[in-house]
């Protein structure tokens, strides 16, 4: 949430910062701004293009800081856009996070006669640094941060120190990129890729002074630290659209490759087994766990819900699922033998991270299913499984969700084979999983039926998604995707729940999207469809190929290949993602950057 980028080097800073902001735009797009020492900050409301338009003539200067904002405190206006200045106008700050005690700090500063130009929490920190500045920028930053409660990833520069950027982190990511003609600082390594793959990650409680050809890392108390640079295993193409109209579409079409990457080297076909190297060190602890707790937010939470069904069904392992925003505040009563598995694409989600920390405090084994390599959660969990889904740029999660489901299949087989799943069953699943990418590749060759259906359903104001068992969480995920990308009001229910209240809402203007694969709850789903049809609700069914009956009860059907039940949720999700995408496009919406959202939710 919010993206920061800084550059200090020998090239003109503005074009580098604008390019970086474009890569970071998915983290927030309410407003953006750039500051180059010696010039006034340049700011604009809305997408980065609006800011770029203000640089018809680039300004000179080889140091600069920039920010793209997801508004937390104060409306998305130019005044509230970062970077913010201190009262002398010579120190500038860009910030990702929230200063929780900003009101009391602000009152203290106002009583000293300091005036504010914005409603933001960030400006308070900028002004605070200004009041404590006595010629040493690093010290002023360190002293100010000692007075602050909250989270931050910050970059600070000044007209008096235009050859350096000071950065610090607590709770919001900061990574330093070591380039040939200068160094960069960002909240996300993807924004550094055009310049370098050599990076140094800051940990919570650390700060750094970055110059053109050096960097120095310290604790906030001033102790010097030595860190070895790491190499980011990402290609710059991975964060470009490569001919697709939108990142969301590109990422859906990457699904076959994503599954290949998620399962690569992790199956032992002849033994019907799975090997997850990241869990080696905790394998005996994990296999002796008597209960699992899965924690995540949004789509990752729904992936966890599917995981629970799979782990209970195939591995016979009692499993619960909690939202990160609940787990961290509630009283958890784990026994010593339980393990917590957090699921997160970004690896930075504040509530998920807080859940990891809270579980660790209780001495519980914490594992991560994480996509972003090197992210905070990847580093703070004791062990884990990387998704290898590649960077996900569209705000709505698609390929990462599919990869999360795939990891749960792998984890389920791993544990189930230890807990009595037969060799034959293990082999069947592992072989089908291996064939899944090609099957989906073939499926994605023709999505014209989804486009046609999208046109028909784009005009409705509401929609309700229903499914049972493995497909109940998929119904929730489908409704979330539709809401995010199309702003159509959508709800989801485990299909059996409808008659306990919500069926009252249905009429001919309230369509139902029913997930109805030919599985062991098929008959029950057909009954539920009959019930909603009796209320005249139009029915769009997601059914499996070969189902001859479904067209008699549904108005429209999108067929997907029939696969092993453990894999069916993966396949059934894809038409829901495409449905949301095509409806969003049909409505002329910005599907990659829906309103009010940001990709990485680092605020609580």
Q: Half-sphere exposure (CA, 13 Å, Cβ side) for 379?
A: 11
Q: Which of 414, 415, 423 is nearest to 267 (CA)?
A: 414
Element of type H or E holding 598: none
Nearer to ligand F6R, 254 or 484 (CB): 484
Nearer to ligand F6R, 196 or 387 (CB): 387
Please confirm whether the linkage preceding 544 is cis (ω < 30° from 0).
no
Nearer to ligand F6R, 190 or 344 (CB): 344
Please pick, from the candidates 63, 157, 349, 573, the single residue that binds ligand F6R as defined by CB under 6 A. Answer: 349
Residue 478 token pair: 């489908």
Rule CB under 6 A: say whether 397 interacts with ligand F6R: yes
Q: Other C-beta atoms within 10 Å of 223: how many?
A: 9
Q: Could you tell me how many residues make up the chain?
A: 604
Nearer to ligand F6R, 479 or 568 (CB): 479
CB 175 → ligand F6R: shortest distance, Å?
A: 16
Rule CB under 6 A: say whether 390 interacts with ligand F6R: no
The interface region with ligand F6R, picked from 125-133, 298-306, 450-458, 525-533 by CB under 6 A, is: 298-306
Rule CB under 6 A: say whether 297 interacts with ligand F6R: yes
E runs forming strands in 432-538: 462-467, 489-494, 512-516
CB 395 → ligand F6R: shortest distance, Å?
A: 6
Element of type H or E holding 250: helix 247-253
The interface region with ligand F6R, picked from 56-64, 339-347, 440-448, 522-530 by CB under 6 A, is: 339-347
CB 531 → ligand F6R: shortest distance, Å?
A: 29
Nearer to ligand F6R, 186 or 349 (CB): 349
Rule CB under 6 A: say whether 173 interacts with ligand F6R: no
Contact 562, 534 (CB under 8 A): no
Nearer to ligand F6R, 364 or 598 (CB): 598
The interface region with ligand F6R, picked from 291-299, 357-365, 433-441, 547-555 by CB under 6 A, is: 291-299
Rule CB under 6 A: say whether 299 interacts with ligand F6R: yes
Please pick, from the candidates 298, 390, 517, 594, the single residue that binds ligand F6R as defined by CB under 6 A. Answer: 298
The Cα-based distances of 574 to 54, 447, 556 in angstroms read 40, 10, 17
Task: Report strand pairing: 291-296 vs 338-344.
Answer: parallel
Please pick, from the candidates 172, 345, 403, 406, the single residue that binds ligand F6R as defined by CB under 6 A. Answer: 345
Contact 579, 457 (CB under 8 A): yes
Please pick, from the candidates 344, 486, 528, 544, the single residue that binds ligand F6R as defined by CB under 6 A. Answer: 344
Where in 484-523 is the site for ligand F6R (CB under 6 A)?
Answer: 484
Rule CB under 6 A: say whether 190 interacts with ligand F6R: no
The Cα 103–Cα 308 span in angstroms is 42
The interface region with ligand F6R, picked from 83-91, 184-192, 292-300, 439-447 by CB under 6 A, is: 292-300
Element of type H or E holding 558: strand 556-560
Selected catalytic residue, list 2, 127, 164, 250: 2
CB 252 → ligand F6R: shortest distance, Å?
A: 12
Rule CB under 6 A: say whether 352 interacts with ligand F6R: yes
CB 389 → ligand F6R: shortest distance, Å?
A: 11
Nearer to ligand F6R, 118 or 345 (CB): 345
CB 298 → ligand F6R: shortest distance, Å?
A: 2
CB 143 → ligand F6R: shortest distance, Å?
A: 33
Please pick, from the candidates 305, 319, 346, 518, the single residue that binds ligand F6R as defined by CB under 6 A. Answer: 346
3-state SS assignment for residue 443: helix
CB 11 → ligand F6R: shortest distance, Å?
A: 32
Sign, CA dihedral 466-469-473-474, equals negative
The Cα 487–Cα 589 span in angstroms is 9
CB 371 → ligand F6R: shortest distance, Å?
A: 7
CB 218 → ligand F6R: shortest distance, Å?
A: 29
Nearer to ligand F6R, 120 or 345 (CB): 345
Could you confirm whether 599 is annotated as catalytic?
Answer: yes
Residues 6+ apart with CB under 8 A from 55: 14, 18, 34, 42
The interface region with ligand F6R, picked from 17-25, 147-155, 340-348, 502-510 by CB under 6 A, is: 340-348
Please pick, from the candidates 48, 71, 141, 396, the single residue that binds ligand F6R as defined by CB under 6 A. Answer: 396
Could you confirm whether 212 is annotated as catalytic?
Answer: no
Nearer to ligand F6R, 538 or 584 (CB): 584
E runs forming strands in 61-143: 63-69, 84-85, 91-99
Selected catalytic residue, list 399, 469, 483, 599: 599
The Cα-based distances of 158 to 36, 146, 153, 582 in angstroms read 9, 20, 17, 47
Q: Which of 576, 558, 420 is nearest to 492 (CA)?
A: 576
Element of type H or E holding 427: helix 423-443
Nearer to ligand F6R, 484 or 592 (CB): 484
Largest CA distance in the chain: 79
Residue 14 token pair: 């503005």
DSSP codes joined into one string, 252-267: HHTHHHHHHHHHTT-E
Rule CB under 6 A: say whether 367 interacts with ligand F6R: no
Rule CB under 6 A: say whether 366 interacts with ligand F6R: no
Sign, CA dihedral 534-539-542-548, equals positive
- Residue nearest ligand F6R by beta-carbon distance: 298
Element of type H or E holding 152: strand 150-158
The interface region with ligand F6R, picked from 80-88, 151-159, 297-305, 405-413 by CB under 6 A, is: 297-305
> Measured in whole angstroms, how far is the alpha carbon of residue 141 from the centre of its chain?
29
Rule CB under 6 A: say whether 575 interacts with ligand F6R: no
CB 297 → ligand F6R: shortest distance, Å?
A: 4
Residues 6+ apart with CB under 8 A from 9: 16, 62, 63, 179, 181, 182, 183, 212
Where in 457-486 is the site for ligand F6R (CB under 6 A)?
Answer: 480, 484
Residues 6+ apart with CB under 8 A from 366: 339, 340, 341, 342, 356, 359, 360, 380, 381, 382
The backbone torsions φ and ψ at residue 20, rounded to the nearest 5 degrees and listed phi first, read: -60, -40
Which residues contact ligand F6R (rule: CB under 6 A)?
A: 297-300, 344-346, 349, 352, 396-397, 480, 484, 600-601
Active site positions, annotated:
2, 599
């Amino acid at each position: 949430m919010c993206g920061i980028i800084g550059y200090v080097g020998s090239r003109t800073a503005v074009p580098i910062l604008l390019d970086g902001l474009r890569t970071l735009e998915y983290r927030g797009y309410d407003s953006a701004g750039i500051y180059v020492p010696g010039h006034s900050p340049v700011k604009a409301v809305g997408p980065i293009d609006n800011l770029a338009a203000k640089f018809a003539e680039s300004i000179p200067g080889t140091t600069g800081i920039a920010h793209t904002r997801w508004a937390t405190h104060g409306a998305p206006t130019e005044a509230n856009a970062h970077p913010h200045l201190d009262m002398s106008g010579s120190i500038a700050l860009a910030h990702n996070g929230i200063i929780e005690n900003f009101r009391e700090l602000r009152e203290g500063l106002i009583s000293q006669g300091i005036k504010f130009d914005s409603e933001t929490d960030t400006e308070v920190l900028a002004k605070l640094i200004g009041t404590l500045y006595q010629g040493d920028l690093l010290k002023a930053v360190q002293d100010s941060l000692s007075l602050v409660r909250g989270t931050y990833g910050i970059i600070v520069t000044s007209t008096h120190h235009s050859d350096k950027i000071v950065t610090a982190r607590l709770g919001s990511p900061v990574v330093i990129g070591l380039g040939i003609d200068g160094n960069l600082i960002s909240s996300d390594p993807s924004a550094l890729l055009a310049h370098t793959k050599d990076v140094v990650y800051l940990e919570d409680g650390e700060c750094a002074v970055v110059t053109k050809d050096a960097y120095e890392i310290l604790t906030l108390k001033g102790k010097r630290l030595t860190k070895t640079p790491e190499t980011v295993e990402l290609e710059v193409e991975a964060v470009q659209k490569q001919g697709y109209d939108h990142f969301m579409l590109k990422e859906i079409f990457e699904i076959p490759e994503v599954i290949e990457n998620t399962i690569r080297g992790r199956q032992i076909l002849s033994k019907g087994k799975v090997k997850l190297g990241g869990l080696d060190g905790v394998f005996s602890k994990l296999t002796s766990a008597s209960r699992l707790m899965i924690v995540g937010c949004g789509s990752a939470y729904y992936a966890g819900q599917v995981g629970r069904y799979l782990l209970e069904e195939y591995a016979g392992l009692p499993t619960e699922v909690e939202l990160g925003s609940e787990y961290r505040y509630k009283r958890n009563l784990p026994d010593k033998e339980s393990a917590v598995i957090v699921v997160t694409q970004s690896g930075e989600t504040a509530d998920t991270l807080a859940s990891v920390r809270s579980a660790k405090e209780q001495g519980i084994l914490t594992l991560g299913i994480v996509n972003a390599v090197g992210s905070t959660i990847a580093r703070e969990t004791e062990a884990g499984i990387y998704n290898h889904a590649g960077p996900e740029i569209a705000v709505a999660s698609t390929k990462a969700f599919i990869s999360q489901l795939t990891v749960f299949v792998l984890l389920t087989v791993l544990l189930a084979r230890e807990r009595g799943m037969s060799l034959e069953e293990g082999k069947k699943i592992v072989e089908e999983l291996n064939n899944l990418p090609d099957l989906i590749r073939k499926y994605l060759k023709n999505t014209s039926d989804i486009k046609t259906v999208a046109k028909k359903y784009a005009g409705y104001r509401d929609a309700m998604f229903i499914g049972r068992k493995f497909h109940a969480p998929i119904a929730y995920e489908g409704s979330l995707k539709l809401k995010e990308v199309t702003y159509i009001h959508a709800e989801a229910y485990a299909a059996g729940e409808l008659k306990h209240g919500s069926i009252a809402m249905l009429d001919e203007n309230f369509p139902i999207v029913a997930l109805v694969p030919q599985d062991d709850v098929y008959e029950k789903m057909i009954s539920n469809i009959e019930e909603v049809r009796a209320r005249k609700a139009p029915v769009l069914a997601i059914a499996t190929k070969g189902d001859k009956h479904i067209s008699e009860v549904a108005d429209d059907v999108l067929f997907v290949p029939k696969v092993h039940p453990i894999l069916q949720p993966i396949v059934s999700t894809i038409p829901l993602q495409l449905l949301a995408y095509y409806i969003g496009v049909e409505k002329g919406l910005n599907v990659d950057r829906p309103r009010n959202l940001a990709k990485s939710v680092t605020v609580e």
